[in-house]
A and B are shown apart, each in its own frame.
Chain A
Amino acid sequence: MVLYSFKLNKKFAFTNLFVALQLSVALILMIITVSSIMSRIDDYLPLRKVLSSQGKCVYVSEVNYINDTRFSFTVEDILNAEKNISEIYSGYKTPLVPSGTENYDHSYSYSRNMAELYTPRMLKGKWLDKADKDSDVLEVVVSDSDNYDIGDIISFYNLNNEEKTYSAKVIGILADDAKVLGLEGSNENVLDFRDMYKHMESECFFFSSEQIEKMRIGLTLYGQMFVTYKNNLNDSELLDLNRNLYKYGSNLGLSDELNINSKNYIKEDIILIFPIALCVLFLVVISEVVAVSIQTKRELKFYAVLNICGATKKHCIIINLLCSLFVSLVGIIIAVIFVLINYNSLSSSFIINFDFVQIFVCSIIVIMNMLLSVIIPYKILSKKAIIEVLKK
């Protein structure tokens, strides 16, 4: 039967190639739409926990001046002053500068909980959340893949004390298109989760805050700081805390507002893309119905001949199914090749990811195809006795 389906495929190679192509186009479209939905959700998910708890997002600028005096806060300062804060997630700047350069202002760090919230897209190696807390050498993640590789040792000096130099081992390299969380260097309106990520334009260095603290290099709160409140605060405590947080930087918004905005943005996106996905699905069904009907009808005489030689209807349907299976396989292969090519070369032209959700959606399309290529031949072959085909 495999042989017979193969022969059928050969006979209809041309039409079947188009059926395969349309399937692959459908799969690719689905992968792209699902990927674009997922990519947005992917940016939201790390922040969901933070944004769903009561709290606030505060933009802390590196340097604060009160009465012309330069000063900065530490997380401990804030936690000591505000007893109703539950947790603080924050980025830092560190005064480390690569030796022999004047590349100031590009060394960052994260509080551990912030580093754990979001892992940027890595080219190689690991992110800070996997850094060794007790390491005696500094570990660094770099954004520049041209000049550094995993295991390289980079030498830094301390901007506040140029005598002091440190060696840091490269443990990770960010992908070219990586975004990092919370280091947005401005205090413009932050509306939803999109505004909390930033592409790093220049060469940047990310250190583990534990290691920096251990070596007493110095950390300055910097960028978007997420503050979560303790549960069960009464109204006046809430009001106080909300107001007090203005002391530490410009307030970007309450977590609930940001959360609602974020969810709305995702919903908008899904509402836009979902009908497209449905249409694709619909087109796949229609063209599959047409293709399978035409093929079955064209091959009725073939099935009639098999029938007088001792084949049952089931045999014929299996042959038809194997035929479609083969065509689907070709379609899947074309789609996979496209996805792979895209991964390797045009990675920025489409958002393409291949995850469980994409596999799931594609499986649904393929299974639907398979079902149709069983149901339709069954309907057609059941409509009348096969012998009627031979009478004409």
Chain B
Amino acid sequence: MIKLNNIVKIYNPKKANEFKALHEVSCEINDGEMIAIIGKSGAGKSTLLHILACIDSYQEGEYIIDETLVKNLSERQYAKIRNEKIGMVMQDFALVEDFTALENVMIPLNFSKQKIKGKKEKALAALKSVGIEDLAKKPCNKLSGGQKQRVAIARAIVNEPSMILADEPTGALDSKTSEEIMDLFKSLNKHGKTIVIVTHDPKIANQCDRIIEISDGRILS
């Protein structure tokens, strides 16, 4: 369960190029929901997602994830949340291009605080669940866009986080591949994962349980 209370995000605070990207944003996301965040380019969708993903900070308000207040934590604590509770999928895949698919998927396991047995088997299982276990040994720069995004999703789920955050996951893909990726998200959602997808494509948004629209750093609905 996720709660945002009056989140304010200011880029470059107290500088000439100060910019308020989020204005007192509040919302709740329940476990197991599949949510779309939509809005025009520059509306603040990515900013919101980055805050949810604990890779960016905010100035005011509260972000609560499973009863933990995510504010002024140490870098290690942030890293732990990213590692254990959140799976991140980016538009440009954010893969290490010269690593193989398997090596990419193993990254979260290698930074886990817990002792994980059978890392390789776990990573292979994640690749299998996104349907590309046969590509495990291939370097990512030899994969197609759709395949890369599957690797990214496998990496997002390998540590079994409760929430997957995706920033325009289909933005760089053709419509057929986009459909396949959406099907993957939907099936993950069926298995109980909370899914938040940032998109500006209504076709994608309409496949979700709920739509949050952002405009100029404010939530409209």
Which residues of A are interface residues toward B (Cβ below 8 A)? Answer: 1, 3-4, 7, 11, 302, 304-315, 385-387, 390-391
Query: 6 tightest CB-CB pairs across the interface, nearest first?
Result: A310-B83, A310-B111, A309-B108, A309-B107, A312-B79, A387-B55
**Docked-complex contact B50 and A387, CB < 8 angstroms:** yes
* Cβ-closest chain B residue relative to A308: B88
For the complex, give the distance between the alpha carbons of A11 and B78 in Å: 29
A306 partner, pick from B50, B53, B57, B107, beta carbons under 8 A: B107
B55 partner, pick from A3, A4, A308, A315, beta carbons under 8 A: A308
Residues of B within 8 A of A309 (CB): 82-83, 88, 107-108, 111, 155
For the complex, give the distance between the alpha carbons of A309 and B84 in Å: 9
Question: Of B27-35, B93-101, B174-182, which binds chain A?
Answer: B93-101
Residues of B within 8 A of A302 (CB): 96
**Docked-complex contact A310 and B75, CB < 8 angstroms:** no
Least Cβ–Cβ distance between A70 and chain B, in angstroms: 88
Residues of B within 8 A of A305 (CB): 94-96, 107
B99 partner, pick from A7, A315, A385, beta carbons under 8 A: A7
Q: Is B122 among interface residues, defined by CB-CB distance under 8 A? A: no
A385 partner, pick from B56, B108, B155, beta carbons under 8 A: B56
Residues of B within 8 A of A314 (CB): 75-76
Tell me the number of A-to-B contacts counted with CB atoms below 8 Å: 62
Number of residues in B with C-beta < 8 Å to the partner? 29
Residues of A within 8 A of B99 (CB): 7
* Cβ-closest chain B residue relative to A386: B55
Residues of B within 8 A of A386 (CB): 55
Q: Is B90 among interface residues, defined by CB-CB distance under 8 A? A: yes
For the complex, give the distance between the alpha carbons of A298 and B157 in Å: 28
Residues of A within 8 A of B95 (CB): 305
**Docked-complex contact B84 and A310, CB < 8 angstroms:** yes
Residues of B within 8 A of A3 (CB): 110
For the complex, give the distance between the alpha carbons of A11 and B84 in Å: 29
* Cβ-closest chain A residue relative to B79: A312
For the complex, give the distance between the alpha carbons of A3 and B92 in Å: 25
Residues of A within 8 A of B55 (CB): 307-308, 385-387
Least Cβ–Cβ distance between B5 and chain A, in angstroms: 22
Of residues 40 through 80 on chain B, the ones whose CB sits less than 8 Å from some CB of chain A are 46, 50, 53, 55-57, 75-76, 78-80
